[in-house]
């Protein structure tokens, strides 16, 4: 399931349910120059043409914005999909902690989906959240099997009017990937 497909399903679900579809911000955290840049990206998504006081950092602006007042009725939710979330782990863990805390503010309009390789990220790096009864739900996905890898690749290659790889080559690659890690990247 790709991010584009997730976005499409989410928008369709919202339409069918009579809800306003959320804005969606997809961030690959490895692309950030600085780990705290994620807050600027969030702010840019919800207020694209904002004039920010130079002395106010994006995080402080977001905290103030969602802690003091109810947002107007038409304000959309913002779904943040942060891939490679473990990249935000710093020595003091502040960025990661504050990102999760923004979802718990009284008038927050944020939904956070974090994708990480560290299975124990929430337990190891966010113990304060657990003590505040705000522990995130963790969903663990199993590695792809050989058959799943072949199926995914065949589905992607259907778009081409010609044979991209011979079936034996696909199976060989799928076997190697499945036996090593199951990670298709």
What's the CATH code of the domain at 55?
3.40.50.300
For residues 125 and 164, state if they share a domain: no
Domain tally, the chain: 2
- Where would I find the beta strands (DSSP E) of the chain? 23-28, 78-83, 110-115
CA 40 to CA 57: how far, in whole Å? 8
DSSP state of 73: T
- Give the burial string for 84-93 (b: 16+ CB within 10 Å, else e): bbbbbbeeee
Mean pLDDT of 154-181: 91
The torsion defined by the Cα of 52, 55, 60 and 64, in degrees rounded to 10, comes to -70
How open is the CA angle 48-52-54, to the nearest 5 degrees? 140
Does residue 185 belong to any structural domain of this protein? Answer: no
Determine contact, residues 126/96, Cβ cutoff 8 Å: yes
pLDDT in tens, 28-43: 999 999 999 999 999 8
| Residue 169 structural domain | 146-180
For residues 124 and 152, state if they share a domain: no
Q: What is the pTM of this model?
A: 0.77
For residues 12 and 62, state if they share a domain: yes
Does residue 136 belong to any structural domain of this protein? Answer: no
pLDDT in tens, 45-64: 887 766 656 567 888 888 88
Does residue 137 belong to any structural domain of this protein? Answer: no
Beta bridge partners of 26: 81
For residues 167 and 76, state if they share a domain: no
Does residue 141 belong to any structural domain of this protein? Answer: no
For residue 185, give both structure tokens.
């990247």
């Amino acid at each position: 399931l790709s991010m584009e497909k997730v976005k499409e399903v989410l928008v369709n679900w919202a339409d069918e349910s009579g809800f306003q579809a959320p804005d969606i911000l997809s961030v690959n955290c490895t692309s950030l120059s600085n780990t705290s840049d994620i807050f600027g990206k969030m702010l840019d998504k919800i207020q694209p043409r904002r004039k920010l006081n130079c002395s106010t950092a994006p995080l402080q602006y977001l905290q103030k914005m969602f802690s003091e007042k109810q947002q107007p009725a038409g304000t959309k939710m913002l779904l943040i999909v942060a891939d490679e979330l473990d990249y935000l782990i710093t020595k003091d863990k502040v960025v990661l902690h504050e990102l999760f805390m923004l979802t718990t503010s009284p008038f927050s309009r944020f939904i956070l989906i974090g994708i990480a390789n560290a299975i124990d990220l929430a337990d190891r790096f966010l113990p304060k959240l657990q003590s505040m009864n705000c522990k995130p739900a963790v969903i663990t996905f199993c590695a792809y099997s050989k058959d799943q890898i072949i199926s995914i690749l065949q589905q992607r290659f259907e778009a081409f009017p010609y044979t991209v790889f011979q079936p034996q080559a696909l199976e060989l690659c799928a076997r190697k990937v499945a036996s090593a890690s199951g990670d298709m990247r």
